[in-house]
A and B are shown apart, each in its own frame.
Chain A
Amino acid sequence: SQQGEEDPQALSIQEGENATMNCSYKTSINNLQWYRQNSGRGLVHLILIRSNEREKHSGRLRVTLDTSKKSSSLLITASRAADTASYFCATDALLENNDMRFGAGTRLTVKP
């Protein structure tokens, strides 16, 4: 079964606006990661946040993690048309280090 579930399933915004995507998961984790997938391509790693971290930044990306609520959010600031892609969260369960589980993803469309 899927570990992570992203919300919303689809998001459409104008260029320059911020985009927020959420991920909820079911079991205790070691790390949570966000990946991006452009149409027809493989996934590309964006950012990793460890279970003892609460917030992490990378360029225009900001990720938060709330282990008490088993949830994470990805914020993309000042979005660009090139940010149009699907975004996935992935978790590795605390006692199952070799099993990376992905959610179904959020499809982000940024209109120019």
Chain B
Amino acid sequence: NAGVTQTPKFQVLKTGQSMTLQCAQDMNHEYMSWYRQDPGMGLRLIHYSVGAGITDQGEVPNGYNVSRSTTEDFPLRLLSAAPSQTSVYFCASSPGGQWTLHFGNGTRLTVT
């Protein structure tokens, strides 16, 4: 049972480049979410999904897009990377209703 898998683990982008952070879970969880973690800021919610075909914005959605075509996958797209998006990104999932989140190990992104 792999849980929540994030790829890649590390990524360096130049300003203006685009990329997709992958997140997959094998627990048949309905709820999935993306957070970014910055020093001294805790985790901030970017986008979330309560099921396939449904997504919504969190606290800091600007500059990011998401889609949820399957229950298992919830990719996060950076449309035009900016240095302010340098951060560690975590994907999490939950069965829904219980709100106990299962986290991936994160993607460390640096934008130069």
Tell whether A pairs with B: yes
Chain A residues within CB distance 8 Å of chain B:
1-2, 4, 30-31, 33, 35, 40-45, 48, 88, 90, 92, 97-105
- A98-B31, A100-B33, A104-B42 known; A43+B90 contact, CB < 8 A: yes
- Give A40 to B105 CA distance when docked, in angstroms: 7
Q: Which residue from B33, B43, B59, B98 sits with its C-beta under 8 Å from A88?
A: B43
Chain B residues within CB distance 8 Å of chain A:
4, 31, 33, 35, 40-45, 48, 50, 56, 58-59, 90, 92, 98-106
**Residues of chain A within 8 A of B35, CB atoms compared:** 102
- Give A90 to B35 CA distance when docked, in angstroms: 13
Contact B45 A31 (CB under 8 A): no
Who on chain B is nearest to A44 by CB?
A: B103
- Give A30 to B4 CA distance when docked, in angstroms: 25
Contact A43 B101 (CB under 8 A): yes
Sample of 9 A–B contacts (CB below 8 Å): A31-B99, A40-B106, A42-B90, A42-B104, A43-B92, A98-B48, A100-B33, A100-B99, A101-B59
Closest Cβ of chain A to B104, distance in Å, is 5
